[in-house]
Amino acid sequence: MANYLAFLRAVNVGGHNKIKKQEQIDLFSNLGAVKVDAYLATGNIYFEYDGDIDTMQSMVEAELQDRFDSEMPVMIRPFDQVKAVVDSQPFPKGEPDNNQRWYVTILHDDVKMDLPSTHTTSSAEINYFFQQHGIICSILEVKKGGVSPNSIIEKELDIAATSRSWKSFSRIIDRWS
């Protein structure tokens, strides 16, 4: 059996799309996954599965669509691909500066996109510097307010995505390593 990580977009964020950790585990288990576990309740799921992973992704998205009556993209990657990002240590050593945020964004599909090296908005400047297996690392220089690269990447690339802070992403991988 192959092991995977699933990242559910916009689960338990801002009081919306509430789904308890155990319900997330049950969702994957009921669709044939085994050794299912979740990190926190924010849509970070580890599981093993022997079937077609694209079919699993479609089934999970359909179940979430039925439950919430809205599209909820699910990003699934082989665990080893995701762990390789953490193992490569793409971010600078130490901690981000005060106005910096380090993010990992997982695209809906395992595709390589043409990204500008820098994208500037009124609230932030995003520096893209790593891309592998539909996973993008970026450093956000925040100008004002709270901002994540997710909505910017989705708009620019016209693809569903979900983002995690580098610290959270690393903890997710460490949990199952």
Going along the chain from its start, the domains and CATH numbers come out as 2-81 (3.30.70.1280), 87-165 (3.30.70)
Count how many Cα atoms sit within 13 Å of the Cα of residue 146 in the half-sphere of its side chain: 1
Predicted local confidence at residue 60, as pLDDT: 96
CA neighbor of 75 nearest in space, from 158, 159, 146: 159
Question: Taking 90 as the threshold, does the pLDDT of residue 156 lie above it?
Answer: no
What does DSSP assign to residue 92? Answer: P
- Least confident interval from 25-34, 149-158, 160-169: 149-158
Helix/strand/coil for 161: strand
Predicted local confidence at residue 95, as pLDDT: 87
pLDDT tens-digit readout, 14-43: 666 778 889 999 999 999 999 999 998 788
H or E element, residue 122? none
Q: How many CB atoms lie within 10 A of CB 49?
A: 21
Confidence label for 54 from pLDDT (cuts 50, 70 and 90): very high
Predicted local confidence at residue 14, as pLDDT: 65
Strands (E), 28-160: 34-39, 44-49, 74-78, 100-107, 118-120, 124-132, 135-142
CA distances from 65 to 38, 60, 70 (A): 20, 9, 5
pLDDT tens-digit readout, 76-121: 999 999 999 999 999 988 888 888 999 999 999 877 777 778 888 8
Confidence label for 157 from pLDDT (cuts 50, 70 and 90): confident
